Amino acid sequence: FFLFLSGPVTAPFGRFVVVERRGESTMNSSNVFSGEGGGPVQAGVGIFFQQEGDGSVVVKTIVSGGSAEREGSVRVGDQILSVDEHKVVGEPLSVLRGLILGSQGSFVKLTFQRKDMGEAHTFDVRLMRGSAEYLQSLTSSKTIEDEIDQLRLQLRQALSHCSQDRDELDRLRKMLQTERDQSQMRERELELLQQENARELAQLNENLRNAEGGRREAETQLHPLQQREADLAEELNRQKEKERLRKEYIEELKKRHEEEKVRLEGLFLKEQAGRREDQVARLGGESQLGRIQAELSRLRTLEQGRREREEEYKDRMQQELARLQDAVRTQDVVRSAVKEVEVKMARYTGEYLQYTQQLVPPEEALDDDNLFLA
Protein backbone atom coordinates (compact mmCIF):
# COMPACT_ATOMS: atom_id res chain seq x y z
CA PHE A 1 0.00 0.00 0.00
CA PHE A 2 0.95 3.63 -0.36
CA LEU A 3 1.21 6.52 2.09
CA PHE A 4 0.87 10.02 0.66
CA LEU A 5 2.06 12.94 2.87
CA SER A 6 1.32 16.35 1.41
CA GLY A 7 -1.00 19.37 1.93
CA PRO A 8 -2.85 20.60 5.02
CA VAL A 9 -5.05 18.19 7.04
CA THR A 10 -7.03 18.45 10.25
CA ALA A 11 -5.85 16.71 13.43
CA PRO A 12 -6.18 14.12 14.80
CA PHE A 13 -6.72 12.08 11.59
CA GLY A 14 -6.33 14.37 8.56
CA ARG A 15 -7.29 13.83 4.90
CA PHE A 16 -6.07 10.68 3.15
CA VAL A 17 -6.07 9.38 -0.44
CA VAL A 18 -6.15 5.65 -1.25
CA VAL A 19 -4.09 4.36 -4.18
CA GLU A 20 -4.21 0.60 -5.01
CA ARG A 21 -1.25 -1.13 -6.53
CA ARG A 22 -2.06 -3.06 -9.66
CA GLY A 23 -1.36 -6.80 -9.61
CA GLU A 24 -1.62 -7.19 -5.81
CA SER A 25 -4.60 -8.75 -4.11
CA THR A 26 -3.26 -9.04 -0.55
CA MET A 27 -3.94 -5.56 0.81
CA ASN A 28 -4.37 -5.06 4.53
CA SER A 29 -7.24 -2.62 4.91
CA SER A 30 -6.42 -2.14 8.58
CA ASN A 31 -3.28 -0.14 7.53
CA VAL A 32 -5.27 2.52 5.60
CA PHE A 33 -6.31 5.70 7.48
CA SER A 34 -8.92 8.27 6.47
CA GLY A 35 -11.24 10.63 8.24
CA GLU A 36 -11.46 14.13 9.57
CA GLY A 37 -11.73 15.82 12.97
CA GLY A 38 -11.40 19.24 14.57
CA GLY A 39 -8.10 20.89 15.53
CA PRO A 40 -5.24 23.04 14.16
CA VAL A 41 -4.24 22.80 10.48
CA GLN A 42 -1.45 20.26 9.91
CA ALA A 43 0.54 19.39 6.81
CA GLY A 44 3.18 17.05 5.46
CA VAL A 45 6.27 17.46 3.26
CA GLY A 46 4.96 16.51 -0.23
CA ILE A 47 6.13 12.85 -0.50
CA PHE A 48 4.14 9.80 -1.74
CA PHE A 49 5.46 6.76 0.25
CA GLN A 50 5.04 3.05 -0.69
CA GLN A 51 5.40 0.20 1.84
CA GLU A 52 7.18 -2.88 0.49
CA GLY A 53 6.50 -6.52 1.40
CA ASP A 54 9.47 -6.62 3.81
CA GLY A 55 8.01 -3.71 5.81
CA SER A 56 10.36 -1.03 4.45
CA VAL A 57 8.85 2.28 3.25
CA VAL A 58 10.28 3.94 0.10
CA VAL A 59 9.55 7.14 -1.83
CA LYS A 60 7.11 6.46 -4.65
CA THR A 61 6.37 9.99 -5.93
CA ILE A 62 7.45 13.55 -5.06
CA VAL A 63 4.62 16.11 -5.20
CA SER A 64 5.21 19.08 -7.51
CA GLY A 65 5.61 22.34 -5.58
CA GLY A 66 5.98 20.55 -2.23
CA SER A 67 8.71 20.99 0.32
CA ALA A 68 10.64 17.89 -0.79
CA GLU A 69 10.73 19.01 -4.41
CA ARG A 70 11.85 22.53 -3.43
CA GLU A 71 14.68 21.11 -1.28
CA GLY A 72 15.78 18.75 -4.09
CA SER A 73 17.70 16.08 -2.13
CA VAL A 74 15.04 13.35 -1.96
CA ARG A 75 14.63 11.02 -4.97
CA VAL A 76 12.12 8.35 -5.95
CA GLY A 77 13.23 4.97 -4.52
CA ASP A 78 14.91 6.39 -1.37
CA GLN A 79 14.06 4.35 1.77
CA ILE A 80 13.07 6.31 4.88
CA LEU A 81 14.87 5.17 8.06
CA SER A 82 13.88 7.65 10.78
CA VAL A 83 11.88 10.80 11.50
CA ASP A 84 13.43 13.28 13.97
CA GLU A 85 15.81 10.52 15.18
CA HIS A 86 12.85 8.07 15.68
CA LYS A 87 13.45 4.87 13.71
CA VAL A 88 10.47 3.84 11.55
CA VAL A 89 11.84 0.69 9.87
CA GLY A 90 9.29 -2.08 10.51
CA GLU A 91 6.91 0.32 12.28
CA PRO A 92 3.25 0.61 11.19
CA LEU A 93 2.18 3.46 8.97
CA SER A 94 0.31 5.15 11.80
CA VAL A 95 3.62 5.77 13.55
CA LEU A 96 5.16 7.25 10.37
CA ARG A 97 2.07 9.40 9.85
CA GLY A 98 2.10 10.73 13.40
CA LEU A 99 5.80 11.63 13.19
CA ILE A 100 5.69 13.40 9.81
CA LEU A 101 2.46 15.40 10.15
CA GLY A 102 2.74 18.73 11.97
CA SER A 103 1.86 22.41 11.96
CA GLN A 104 2.46 24.35 8.77
CA GLY A 105 5.76 26.20 8.85
CA SER A 106 7.44 23.77 11.29
CA PHE A 107 10.41 21.61 10.27
CA VAL A 108 10.96 17.85 10.41
CA LYS A 109 14.21 15.90 9.98
CA LEU A 110 14.00 12.77 7.77
CA THR A 111 16.77 10.19 7.39
CA PHE A 112 16.89 8.26 4.10
CA GLN A 113 18.97 5.44 2.65
CA ARG A 114 19.85 5.41 -1.03
CA LYS A 115 21.35 2.57 -3.06
CA ASP A 116 23.65 3.82 -5.82
CA MET A 117 25.60 1.36 -7.99
CA GLY A 118 25.26 -1.40 -5.38
CA GLU A 119 26.40 0.80 -2.48
CA ALA A 120 24.00 2.10 0.19
CA HIS A 121 24.53 5.40 2.00
CA THR A 122 22.35 7.42 4.36
CA PHE A 123 21.66 11.16 4.46
CA ASP A 124 19.51 13.58 6.44
CA VAL A 125 17.01 16.09 5.03
CA ARG A 126 15.37 18.92 6.97
CA LEU A 127 12.03 19.86 5.37
CA MET A 128 9.34 22.42 6.18
CA ARG A 129 5.78 21.15 6.66
CA GLY A 130 3.24 22.88 4.43
CA SER A 131 1.22 22.78 1.26
CA ALA A 132 2.41 24.05 -2.12
CA GLU A 133 0.18 27.14 -1.73
CA TYR A 134 1.65 27.88 1.70
CA LEU A 135 5.23 27.57 0.43
CA GLN A 136 4.38 29.71 -2.60
CA SER A 137 3.00 32.44 -0.31
CA LEU A 138 6.27 32.41 1.66
CA THR A 139 8.22 32.78 -1.59
CA SER A 140 6.02 35.76 -2.63
CA SER A 141 6.63 37.46 0.74
CA LYS A 142 10.37 36.95 0.34
CA THR A 143 10.20 38.41 -3.18
CA ILE A 144 8.51 41.59 -1.88
CA GLU A 145 11.11 41.84 0.92
CA ASP A 146 13.89 41.41 -1.65
CA GLU A 147 12.40 44.22 -3.76
CA ILE A 148 12.24 46.46 -0.69
CA ASP A 149 15.86 45.61 0.17
CA GLN A 150 16.86 46.36 -3.43
CA LEU A 151 15.13 49.74 -3.32
CA ARG A 152 16.78 50.52 0.01
CA LEU A 153 20.14 49.57 -1.46
CA GLN A 154 19.50 51.87 -4.43
CA LEU A 155 18.56 54.66 -2.01
CA ARG A 156 21.80 54.17 -0.08
CA GLN A 157 23.75 54.19 -3.34
CA ALA A 158 22.02 57.41 -4.42
CA LEU A 159 22.81 59.01 -1.06
CA SER A 160 26.43 57.86 -1.41
CA HIS A 161 26.61 59.42 -4.90
CA CYS A 162 25.18 62.66 -3.48
CA SER A 163 27.88 62.66 -0.79
CA GLN A 164 30.57 62.05 -3.41
CA ASP A 165 29.20 64.91 -5.54
CA ARG A 166 29.26 67.24 -2.51
CA ASP A 167 32.89 66.28 -1.78
CA GLU A 168 33.82 66.87 -5.43
CA LEU A 169 32.07 70.27 -5.35
CA ASP A 170 33.98 71.27 -2.20
CA ARG A 171 37.22 70.17 -3.83
CA LEU A 172 36.50 72.24 -6.94
CA ARG A 173 35.66 75.26 -4.80
CA LYS A 174 38.97 74.92 -2.94
CA MET A 175 40.79 74.51 -6.26
CA LEU A 176 39.11 77.64 -7.67
CA GLN A 177 40.01 79.63 -4.55
CA THR A 178 43.63 78.43 -4.84
CA GLU A 179 43.73 79.47 -8.50
CA ARG A 180 42.33 82.88 -7.60
CA ASP A 181 44.98 83.37 -4.90
CA GLN A 182 47.71 82.31 -7.32
CA SER A 183 46.30 84.64 -9.98
CA GLN A 184 46.32 87.59 -7.56
CA MET A 185 49.89 86.73 -6.58
CA ARG A 186 50.93 86.62 -10.25
CA GLU A 187 49.23 89.98 -10.83
CA ARG A 188 51.20 91.52 -7.93
CA GLU A 189 54.42 90.00 -9.29
CA LEU A 190 53.58 91.40 -12.74
CA GLU A 191 53.04 94.89 -11.30
CA LEU A 192 56.36 94.72 -9.42
CA LEU A 193 58.13 93.54 -12.59
CA GLN A 194 56.58 96.37 -14.62
CA GLN A 195 57.71 98.91 -12.02
CA GLU A 196 61.24 97.46 -12.05
CA ASN A 197 61.33 97.55 -15.86
CA ALA A 198 60.12 101.16 -15.83
CA ARG A 199 62.92 102.14 -13.42
CA GLU A 200 65.54 100.34 -15.55
CA LEU A 201 64.20 102.02 -18.71
CA ALA A 202 64.38 105.43 -17.04
CA GLN A 203 67.96 104.71 -15.93
CA LEU A 204 68.94 103.68 -19.46
CA ASN A 205 67.39 106.84 -20.90
CA GLU A 206 69.30 108.93 -18.36
CA ASN A 207 72.58 107.19 -19.27
CA LEU A 208 71.87 107.76 -22.96
CA ARG A 209 71.24 111.47 -22.36
CA ASN A 210 74.50 111.75 -20.34
CA ALA A 211 76.46 110.06 -23.14
CA GLU A 212 74.96 112.41 -25.72
CA GLY A 213 75.88 115.42 -23.55
CA GLY A 214 79.49 114.16 -23.20
CA ARG A 215 79.76 113.77 -26.95
CA ARG A 216 78.55 117.30 -27.54
CA GLU A 217 80.95 118.69 -24.92
CA ALA A 218 83.86 116.86 -26.59
CA GLU A 219 82.90 118.31 -29.94
CA THR A 220 82.72 121.76 -28.34
CA GLN A 221 86.24 121.34 -26.87
CA LEU A 222 87.67 120.00 -30.14
CA HIS A 223 86.51 122.98 -32.20
CA PRO A 224 88.65 125.59 -30.33
CA LEU A 225 91.61 123.28 -30.59
CA GLN A 226 91.19 123.01 -34.32
CA GLN A 227 90.86 126.78 -34.55
CA ARG A 228 93.98 127.22 -32.41
CA GLU A 229 95.86 124.78 -34.63
CA ALA A 230 94.97 126.89 -37.63
CA ASP A 231 96.06 130.05 -35.88
CA LEU A 232 99.38 128.47 -34.92
CA ALA A 233 99.95 127.37 -38.46
CA GLU A 234 99.27 130.84 -39.73
CA GLU A 235 101.53 132.30 -37.06
CA LEU A 236 104.23 129.86 -38.04
CA ASN A 237 104.01 130.97 -41.64
CA ARG A 238 104.27 134.57 -40.63
CA GLN A 239 107.22 133.79 -38.47
CA LYS A 240 108.90 131.96 -41.32
CA GLU A 241 108.36 134.91 -43.57
CA LYS A 242 109.34 137.52 -40.95
CA GLU A 243 112.07 135.83 -38.94
CA ARG A 244 113.81 133.28 -41.03
CA LEU A 245 116.91 134.01 -39.09
CA ARG A 246 115.45 133.05 -35.77
CA LYS A 247 115.84 129.29 -36.45
CA GLU A 248 116.29 128.28 -32.86
CA TYR A 249 113.14 130.05 -31.91
CA ILE A 250 111.38 128.44 -34.87
CA GLU A 251 112.69 125.04 -33.82
CA GLU A 252 111.36 125.65 -30.37
CA LEU A 253 108.05 126.63 -31.83
CA LYS A 254 108.07 123.47 -33.92
CA LYS A 255 108.69 121.34 -30.86
CA ARG A 256 105.89 123.08 -29.04
CA HIS A 257 103.74 122.66 -32.06
CA GLU A 258 104.55 118.94 -32.25
CA GLU A 259 103.84 118.48 -28.57
CA GLU A 260 100.56 120.28 -28.90
CA LYS A 261 99.76 118.21 -31.93
CA VAL A 262 100.44 114.97 -30.07
CA ARG A 263 98.27 116.15 -27.21
CA LEU A 264 95.49 117.06 -29.58
CA GLU A 265 95.76 113.73 -31.37
CA GLY A 266 95.50 111.96 -27.99
CA LEU A 267 92.43 113.99 -27.21
CA PHE A 268 91.04 113.09 -30.62
CA LEU A 269 91.67 109.37 -30.06
CA LYS A 270 90.04 109.58 -26.64
CA GLU A 271 87.05 111.28 -28.21
CA GLN A 272 86.77 108.48 -30.79
CA ALA A 273 87.01 105.85 -28.03
CA GLY A 274 84.27 107.69 -26.12
CA ARG A 275 82.10 107.66 -29.21
CA ARG A 276 82.60 103.89 -29.60
CA GLU A 277 81.70 103.38 -25.94
CA ASP A 278 78.59 105.51 -26.41
CA GLN A 279 77.62 103.41 -29.44
CA VAL A 280 78.08 100.16 -27.47
CA ALA A 281 76.02 101.55 -24.59
CA ARG A 282 73.28 102.59 -27.02
CA LEU A 283 73.24 99.11 -28.59
CA GLY A 284 73.11 97.52 -25.12
CA GLY A 285 70.21 99.77 -24.17
CA GLU A 286 68.34 98.84 -27.33
CA SER A 287 68.93 95.10 -26.60
CA GLN A 288 67.72 95.52 -23.01
CA LEU A 289 64.67 97.38 -24.29
CA GLY A 290 63.89 94.47 -26.68
CA ARG A 291 64.15 91.93 -23.84
CA ILE A 292 61.82 94.05 -21.71
CA GLN A 293 59.27 94.23 -24.53
CA ALA A 294 59.48 90.42 -24.99
CA GLU A 295 58.93 89.89 -21.26
CA LEU A 296 55.91 92.21 -21.36
CA SER A 297 54.49 90.19 -24.27
CA ARG A 298 55.02 86.92 -22.35
CA LEU A 299 53.27 88.35 -19.29
CA ARG A 300 50.32 89.44 -21.44
CA THR A 301 50.11 85.84 -22.80
CA LEU A 302 50.16 84.42 -19.24
CA GLU A 303 47.38 86.81 -18.22
CA GLN A 304 45.26 85.70 -21.21
CA GLY A 305 45.81 82.02 -20.28
CA ARG A 306 44.83 82.74 -16.69
CA ARG A 307 41.58 84.33 -17.81
CA GLU A 308 40.81 81.34 -20.07
CA ARG A 309 41.45 78.87 -17.19
CA GLU A 310 39.23 80.91 -14.92
CA GLU A 311 36.41 80.72 -17.49
CA GLU A 312 36.96 76.95 -17.79
CA TYR A 313 36.75 76.55 -13.99
CA LYS A 314 33.50 78.54 -13.98
CA ASP A 315 32.01 76.23 -16.65
CA ARG A 316 33.06 73.13 -14.68
CA MET A 317 31.52 74.59 -11.55
CA GLN A 318 28.20 75.08 -13.35
CA GLN A 319 28.33 71.48 -14.66
CA GLU A 320 28.99 70.11 -11.16
CA LEU A 321 26.09 72.15 -9.77
CA ALA A 322 23.82 70.70 -12.47
CA ARG A 323 24.96 67.18 -11.55
CA LEU A 324 24.22 67.84 -7.90
CA GLN A 325 20.71 69.05 -8.78
CA ASP A 326 20.15 65.87 -10.83
CA ALA A 327 21.28 63.75 -7.88
CA VAL A 328 18.83 65.59 -5.58
CA ARG A 329 15.99 64.97 -8.06
CA THR A 330 17.00 61.30 -8.23
CA GLN A 331 16.87 61.09 -4.45
CA ASP A 332 13.32 62.52 -4.46
CA VAL A 333 12.26 59.95 -7.08
CA VAL A 334 13.74 57.10 -5.00
CA ARG A 335 11.93 58.34 -1.90
CA SER A 336 8.63 58.37 -3.81
CA ALA A 337 9.30 54.82 -5.04
CA VAL A 338 9.99 53.63 -1.47
CA LYS A 339 6.71 55.17 -0.29
CA GLU A 340 4.82 53.43 -3.11
CA VAL A 341 6.48 50.09 -2.22
CA GLU A 342 5.51 50.55 1.46
CA VAL A 343 1.89 51.20 0.41
CA LYS A 344 1.90 48.11 -1.85
CA MET A 345 3.43 46.00 0.93
CA ALA A 346 0.70 47.11 3.36
CA ARG A 347 -1.96 46.22 0.74
CA TYR A 348 -0.37 42.82 0.07
CA THR A 349 -0.14 42.08 3.81
CA GLY A 350 -3.85 42.88 4.27
CA GLU A 351 -4.82 40.68 1.33
CA TYR A 352 -2.68 37.82 2.68
CA LEU A 353 -4.29 38.06 6.14
CA GLN A 354 -7.76 37.98 4.57
CA TYR A 355 -6.76 34.95 2.52
CA THR A 356 -5.44 33.02 5.55
CA GLN A 357 -8.60 33.80 7.51
CA GLN A 358 -10.80 32.51 4.71
CA LEU A 359 -8.75 29.29 4.26
CA VAL A 360 -10.82 26.38 5.78
CA PRO A 361 -9.96 22.73 4.96
CA PRO A 362 -12.84 20.73 3.34
CA GLU A 363 -14.56 18.00 5.33
CA GLU A 364 -14.66 14.46 4.08
CA ALA A 365 -16.36 11.31 5.34
CA LEU A 366 -14.43 8.53 7.11
CA ASP A 367 -13.25 5.76 4.84
CA ASP A 368 -11.03 2.74 5.68
CA ASP A 369 -8.26 2.30 3.02
CA ASN A 370 -4.53 1.58 2.83
CA LEU A 371 -3.41 5.19 1.89
CA PHE A 372 -3.55 8.55 3.72
CA LEU A 373 -2.54 12.13 2.93
CA ALA A 374 -0.24 13.82 5.50
Residues across the chain: 374
Read off the pLDDT band of 50 (50, 70, 90).
confident
Read off the pLDDT band of 17 (50, 70, 90).
very low
pLDDT of amino acid 372:
46
Domains of the chain: 42-130 (2.30.42.10)
**Interval 179-207 mean pLDDT:** 88
Q: Angle CA(58)–CA(63)–CA(66) in degrees, nearest 5?
A: 115
**Interval 188-204 mean pLDDT:** 88
pLDDT of amino acid 130:
87
Which contacts (CB < 8 Å, 24+ apart) does range 148-151 have? 148/341, 148/342, 148/345, 151/334, 151/337, 151/338, 151/341
CA–CA distance, 113 with 81 (Å, rounded to integer): 7
> pLDDT digits over 119-176, tens only?
889 999 999 998 888 888 877 666 676 667 777 777 777 787 788 888 888 888 898 8
pLDDT of amino acid 374:
44
Read off the pLDDT band of 40 (50, 70, 90).
low
pLDDT of amino acid 19:
34
pLDDT > 90? residue 82: yes
Q: Of 38, 328, 355, nearest to 163 (Cα)?
A: 328
**Interval 303-326 mean pLDDT:** 86
- Burial class, 351, CB count within 10 angstroms (exposed 0-12 / middle 13-18 / buried 19+): exposed
CA–CA distance, 65 with 118 (Å, rounded to integer): 31
Structure letter (DSSP) for residue 21: P
Q: Of 335, 214, 360, nearest to 276 (Cα)?
A: 214
- Percent share of the chain, pLDDT over 90: 7
pLDDT of amino acid 361:
56
Which contacts (CB < 8 Å, 24+ apart) does range 193-196 have? 193/295, 193/299, 194/296
pLDDT > 60? residue 363: no
Mean pLDDT of the chain: 79
What is the SS3 assignment for 337? helix
pLDDT of amino acid 81:
92
From 176-190, 213-227, 272-286, the region with the lowest mean pLDDT = 213-227
What amino acid is encoded at 178 in this protein?
T
CA–CA distance, 306 with 300 (Å, rounded to integer): 10
pLDDT > 70? residue 367: no
pTM across the whole model: 0.34
Collect all residues with Cβ–Cβ distance below 8 Å to 240 and sequence separation of at least 6.
Answer: 250
pLDDT of amino acid 147:
67
**198 CA to centre of own chain:** 53
**Interval 330-346 mean pLDDT:** 87
